[in-house]
Amino acid sequence: MLSTPTVNKTPQLRLSRSQTLFEAAIERISAAYPKDLARKEGIHSWPDPLPSPTFQRPDPLLLFTPAEDGSRRPEAEPSQPYQAIIPMTRNEMLEHRNRERIKPSMQIPLGLVDKPEEQQVDTFLVDLHGTTDARSGGPLLIAGPQHSGKATALQTMLLWLTTCFLPERLRCAVIDPLGELDQFRALPHFRHPSGETLWTDGNSDEDLTRFIRTISADIQQRHDKFPNQRWERHTLAQLWSQGLTMPQFLLIISNYQSFAERVSASTALQKLIQTVVETRLQGHYLILTSTETSARYITPEVMGACGTKIGLALHERQRHELFGHAAFSTEAIPGRGLLMTTDRKIHQVQLALSAPGHTESSRDQYLRQEIA
C-alpha cells in the first residue's frame, strides 16, 4: 500500500498571463510533487497536460522533430524543446521509407489525445482504414468554424502521408475551394497516371464533374482489375507483399459545406462519397472538413459514415449535432478539440502543426521548403 505523499512546502505560484488556472494548478502540483519522486514511490501515471499554444509559444506540438539545420531553423529559437509526435526528423523518415519494405497504412499521427480514464496522454492516430481496436474509424470528419485549425490538420496529415509513401503507393485527390492546401499541389501524389491533375477548387460544376468522373473511373478500374477478389482487411497488404503496387487512394473534400447550396454538385459529391466509403477495403479513404454540422450541410448518411469525428472550437449546438449530449466544452486553444471514434467515446485532443514557426506565414514558408 502506498503512503500518501506529504508536501511540506508548496512553492510560490507564479501565474503568467497566458497560463490558465488549470495549467497553473498542474504546474503547482508538479513542482510540489515532482515526477521523479512520484516514480520512486511507485506512481507512474503522471501525464503532462496537453501542450497549449500560447502567444509566446504558438507552435509547441509538431508532427516531426525539426531538423538541426541552421538555415531552416524557425526565426526565434525557443528555449524549450519542441514536442514532436514522431521522434524523427522528416529526412530520417524519408530515409526510413527508402530502406524499409513499406506496408499500406492509413494510420496518421495527428496529435495527442487525453485519456483521463487511463491517466494517460497518448499519440492520437487517425485510422482511416480501421485496423486497430474499437477506436479505429474509417472516414474522418473535421468540423469547426473559420480559423479553428481544419486546414492545419489537413496539412499535417498530408505531410505525414506524402512523406511515408511514394506516389505509386499513395494517390490523393483534393477538392479545395479556398486553396488551403496549395503547398502540396505540385507533388506527384496529386496527379493521375494519365497526367491529369487530381486537384480542383470545385467552383465550377464542369470542373467538379470532370474530377468526379476521373476518380469514379479509377475506382471502377480497380474493381475490374480484380473481379473475383474478396476484399478483406488485409487484402491490400497481401497484394503489396506480392509485388502488386496498387496505390492507396485518399479523397479530401475541404469546406464540404460550401457545396450544400449547389444541388447538382452536392448530389454528385454525395454519390462519390458513398462509393469511396463502400470501397474502403479496396484502399479508398475519405477526409472531409466543414464549418457546419447540421443536416442541411452534412446529410445523416454522410455524417453516419464518418467513423472518426473531430470538432474544433464548436459552439454548443454544433457540439450536440456532432457528438450528442455527452459532448463537453473545451478551452479556446488553437488546435484543441474533441474527438469521437466508433466506440462513441469522447476525448480531448491537441492537434500537431506540420511546421515550426511563430507566425502562420513563417510556418507556411517552412512547409513549402520542406515539401520542395
Ligand X SMILES: Nc1ncnc2c1ncn2[C@@H]1O[C@H](COP(=O)(O)OP(=O)(O)OP(=O)(O)O)[C@@H](O)[C@H]1O
Residue (229 or 359) nearer to ligand X, CB: 359
* 151 in a labelled binding site: yes
* 221 in a labelled binding site: no
Site string for ligand X, 19-58 (x = CB under 6 A): ----------------------------------x----x
121-160 residues near ligand X, rule: CB under 6 A:
144, 146-152
168-207 residues near ligand X, rule: CB under 6 A:
178, 180
Residue (141 or 246) nearer to ligand X, CB: 141
Residue (247 or 357) nearer to ligand X, CB: 357
* 325 in a labelled binding site: no
Residue 34 Cβ vs ligand X, minimum distance, rounded to whole Å: 28
Residue 93 Cβ vs ligand X, minimum distance, rounded to whole Å: 19
Residue (61 or 198) nearer to ligand X, CB: 61
* 70 in a labelled binding site: no
79-108 residues near ligand X, rule: CB under 6 A:
none
Asked if 268 and 252 count as a contact pair (C-beta separation under 8 A), the reply is no
Binding-site member from 62, 128, 351, 355 for ligand X (CB under 6 A):
351
Select the residue whose beta carbon is closest to ligand X and give its number: 335
209-238 residues near ligand X, rule: CB under 6 A:
none
* 148 in a labelled binding site: yes
Grid look-up 468526379 returns 212
Does 18 participate in binding ligand X (rule CB under 6 A)?
no
Does 247 participate in binding ligand X (rule CB under 6 A)?
no
* 145 in a labelled binding site: yes
* 34 in a labelled binding site: no
Residue 203 Cβ vs ligand X, minimum distance, rounded to whole Å: 16
Residue 316 Cβ vs ligand X, minimum distance, rounded to whole Å: 19
Residue 152 Cβ vs ligand X, minimum distance, rounded to whole Å: 3
Beta-carbon neighbour count of residue 103 at 10 Å? 11
Reduced 3-state DSSP string for the chain: CCCCCCCCCCCCCCCCCCCCHHHHHHHHHHHHCCHHHHHHCCCCCCCCCCCCCCCCCCCCEEEECCCCCHHHCCCCCCCCCCEEEECCCHHHHHHHHHHCCCCCCCEEEEEEEEEHHHCEEEEEEEECCCCCCCCCCCCEEEECCCCCCHHHHHHHHHHHHHHHCCCCCEEEEEECCCCCCHHHCCCHHHECCCCCECEECCCCHHHHHHHHHHHHHHHHHHHHHCCCCCCCCCHHHHHHHCCCCCCEEEEEECCHHHHCCCHHHHHHHHHHHHHHHHCHHHCEEEEEEECCCCCCCCCHHHHHHCCEEEEECCCHHHHHHHHCCCCCCCCCCCCEEEEECCCCCEEEEEECECCCCCCHHHHHHHHHHHHC
Residue (150 or 171) nearer to ligand X, CB: 150
Binding-site member from 74, 311, 334, 337 for ligand X (CB under 6 A):
334
| Count of residues making up the chain | 372
* 74 in a labelled binding site: no
Give me the residues that bind ligand X (CB under 6 A), please. 53, 58, 144, 146-152, 178, 180, 334-335, 351, 353, 360
Q: Residue positions in the annotated binding site for ATP?
A: 144-151
The binding site consists of: 144-151
